[in-house]
Amino acid sequence: MTDNQLRSHQDIEGLSLAIPERIAITLVVNGVERRLKVAPWTSLLDALRDHLDLTGSKKGCDHGQCGACTVLIEGRRINSCLALAVMKDGAKITTVEGLARDGTLHPLQQAFIDHDAFQCGYCTPGQLCSAAGLIAEGRAQTDDDIRELMSGNICRCGAYPNIVAAIRQAMRGP
């Protein structure tokens, strides 16, 4: 709910609703310290997209079921639609925009291209961040492991075999 919407509901049946103050937070996003003020109910996804203009992470379901909003926090995968931005104050966050370095694609990005691991592309940012976390975790040994550990990321186009092949390539390294 926006501040204007709250103001319009301030005097419902004689009740006075206080507008909560915005909270100042600092996020280290893709290696850059960013300061912003957000409403207490702002999700990390909305903070990234609406306050920092990092629109790679997508809002698919907004319920943590599709994985389109996956980002890395301190190297661990999370659904950013389920995390409040204020709870991540001071956190180191990597979004899909932060995977490439110095104009060179991240090995996962190149592998997704090499294996046609995307069709419409809507899920791809979340798939890439989740795959980066999966590789860093070091638990995936087989294609079945990859499928299981990527099961929180849905691809409506059905590019799963190509996604698994791309992750396998990135796990092997150059």
Run of H or E including 79: strand 76-79
Give the span between the Cα atoms of 43 and 49, in whole angstroms.
Answer: 10
In tens, the pLDDT along 126-169 reads: 999 999 999 999 999 999 999 999 999 999 999 999 999 999 99
> What CATH superfamily classification does 3-96 receive?
Beta-grasp domain (3.10.20.30)
Residue 172 confidence class, pLDDT cut points 50, 70, 90:
very high
**Location of each CATH 1.10.150.120 domain in the chain:** 107-172
Give the span between the Cα atoms of 43 and 159, in whole angstroms.
Answer: 28
Q: Would you call 139 exposed, middle or buried from its count of C-beta atoms within 10 A (0-12, 13-18, 19+)?
A: exposed
We find that the CATH architecture of domain 107-172 is Orthogonal Bundle (1.10)
**pTM listed for this prediction:** 0.88
Give the span between the Cα atoms of 71 and 159, in whole angstroms.
Answer: 20
- Token pair for 31: 């290696």
120: alpha, beta or left? (left if phi > 0; alpha if psi -120 to 50): alpha
Amino acid residing at 11: D
The Cα-based distances of 152 to 123, 127, 168, 173 in angstroms read: 11, 9, 18, 24
The Cα-based distances of 61 to 13, 65, 157, 163, 170 in angstroms read: 34, 6, 16, 21, 28
**Location of each CATH 3.10.20.30 domain in the chain:** 3-96
Pairing type for strands 70-73 and 92-94 reads antiparallel
In tens, the pLDDT along 100-124 reads: 999 999 999 999 999 999 999 999 9
Indicate whether 3 pLDDT > 80.
Answer: no
In tens, the pLDDT along 28-44 reads: 999 999 999 999 999 99
